[in-house]
Amino acid sequence: MRRLSGAEFAVLPDGAAGQAVADALGGAAVLEYVSGRPCLVTTSPHEVTHAQAGRARLAVIGVCPVTAGRLAELAARLRCLEDADAVAAALPGSFHLVAVLDGRVRVQGTASGLRRVYYARVGGAVVASGRASLFGGPLDHQALAVRLLAKTPPVLAGPLWEGVTMVPPGDAAHLDRYGVRLRTWWRTPEPDLPLAEGAPALTAALEAAVDARVGQDAVVAGDLSGGLDSTPVSFLAASAAGRRSAKLVTFGLGVDDPAHDDERWAALAREHLPGEHLLIRHDELPGWFAGVARPVAGLDEPMRWLRVLDRELATSGRLAERGAAVRLTGHGGDEVALLPVCYLHDLARRRPSALWPHLRDRRSRARWPLASCARELADRRPYAAWLAGQSGLLGAPPPAASQPDFGWEPPLRLPSWTTPEVADAVRRRLATVRAVAGSPLRAQHQALSNTRAAAAVLDGMQTLTARAGAAVHAPFLDDHVIAACLAVRLDERAAPGVYKPLTRAAMRPVMPPECLLRTTKAAFPADFYQGLRRHRDQLLALLDGSLLVERGLADAGALHRACVGTPADAGPSMLALDVFVAAENWLRALPADGGSRATA
């Protein structure tokens, strides 16, 4: 275990063993037990709001507008650590919560997984932190193999170091001198609310999430692509800025693709938005795959979207030059507001009378055969059985777009360049994992799974862009926003012929009607192909002396073909390259000892 750095923190048990770890970690003790021993230590005490009331102490680490006085009121209500459930429910934002009562402590992250909690035994103490890389140690090669799936379900995505355990999002870790106990504090809502009730709840939750990030007299930046995710966030930010005497700076990036309609919708939104509007040509910022061979240190796991990191860092740097420390994005909006097609499977059981118009609409657009739809609807396998059934399909081609797939997750597939040893490791993980669905409903489970996968990416992106200046924040990934979306009826979160009906209904009080009329979502094949053409040298640099090949995880010949070829279909090939770039870069950025440094 290494010393604390950056904005890291550690939560320690009460006792001599915890004291010894605290002494070795460095940092300041923000919370102490009644005994006087340290409980929460960090190198960034200014990012922590904390309070004490009698025997109880509370600390919030991250984005939350709570004051120390309000936190003291909440601490005074604690009679047991389980009472901290109500604290998390009462506070907006995205944060870690630490609650202390006498000699016991509880620590939790977010249900979204954007802020996670890891723990490991260090010396004689079980220590918790928001960073797995703090513990280091030998690499878990099975865990690394699982990360080579085109899309890794969160239930399989454990920490990449042996001896480190992740607290499942929605659970809290209770620590004492004897060890750790987990307790669930968040559950997926039942989708029972009609749209008329759910939309105002989403409006309020998203407004609070944006408000939590806009400071008095501050400059706040907002990505404005023109889509139905970033545009609502920009309008809410404008409202918050007006209330706080703050300034909004929106950012728009030109796209070199005549079929791309983002700019038209972004221009329409700018006509109604106050503040400064920064417009950048596509060739003024790094392209896709620029700089991907440069090792990116300090990440807990390989970060998908590494292909756009240089562009994101340059954007955050430009916005920081205009005074912004916060950069709001619409990331996460698709995951919480769009329903995966497996909702049809749920409708067949929950609201069969509503199934046919939805199925007819989907079939007319995708041209699914009716017999294939019937077969998918008849599949009654629970999540664990469905997941186990993927074991024999890891090397199969992905399902064709002309065939329906109503499974619990996107199909589990490995890139063609992985070795048989990777497939064997994934099968072993599938055979031993405790696969518990996030909901009895496939759509709810998959929406939550997709959200947590996106949160893992945004966690790394937020850390890296903060170093560049304006940190990326995704209000759609706040727990209260996710809960508001998932509480709405499935047949009203999707509507035949209507794009994002929940978002539209929630934003009617916030946005001009003409800005809600968009029915398209832009794709980015031009950026992909241009990036390959201009930055192929970066892929070849990663290929040269590949650690994935050295560790027996990638076939050198197949990987070379993937890096030098120009695919006809950007989608699957983009995923395969994302997996390679993320994993290879992450391995190269590791310290020679895997990050392990003894502290106790």
Q: Is the pLDDT of residue 331 over 50?
A: yes
User: For residue 599, what pLDDT is reported?
Assistant: 33
Q: Is the pLDDT of residue 597 over 60?
A: no
User: For residue 503, what pLDDT is reported?
Assistant: 97
User: For residue 415, what pLDDT is reported?
Assistant: 96
User: For residue 598, what pLDDT is reported?
Assistant: 33
- Contact (CB, 8 A) for 562 and 581: no
Q: Is the pLDDT of residue 147 over 70?
A: yes
484: Cβ–Cβ under 8 A, 6 or more apart, which residues?
198, 201, 202, 204, 205, 206
CA distances to 87, 395, 424 from 34, rounded to whole Å, are 21, 56, 50
Distance, in Å, from the CA atom of 581 to the CA atom of 147, rounded to the nearest integer, reads: 12
User: For residue 593, what pLDDT is reported?
Assistant: 62
What number is the average pLDDT over the span 479-503? Answer: 96
Q: Is the pLDDT of residue 350 over 80?
A: yes
Least confident range from 45-49, 127-131, 143-147: namely 45-49
Residue bearing the bigger pLDDT, 260 or 529:
529
User: For residue 594, what pLDDT is reported?
Assistant: 53
Terminal Cα-to-Cα distance of the chain (whole angstroms) = 8
Annotate 469-493 with b (16+ C-beta within 10 A) or e (fewer): bbbbbbbbbbbbbbbbbbbbbbbbb
Nearest to 582 by CA among 453, 399, 391, 420: 453
Domains and CATH numbers, the chain: 9-184 (3.60.20.10), 195-336+446-520 (3.40.50.620), 356-441 (no CATH), 526-589 (no CATH)
Q: Report DSSP letters for 133-187, one per residue.
A: GGT--SB-HHHHHHTTSSS--GGG---SBTT-EEPPTTEEEEEETTEEEEEE---
210: Cβ–Cβ under 8 A, 6 or more apart, which residues?
233, 236, 237, 240, 328, 475
What number is the average pLDDT over the span 349-374? Answer: 95
For 223, the 3-state DSSP assignment is strand
Res. 186 pLDDT band, cuts 50 70 90: very high
What tens digit of pLDDT does each residue of 228-257 get? 999 999 999 999 999 999 999 999 998 777
What tens digit of pLDDT does each residue of 68-102 get? 999 999 999 999 999 999 999 999 999 999 999 99
Mean pLDDT score of the chain, rounded to an integer? 94
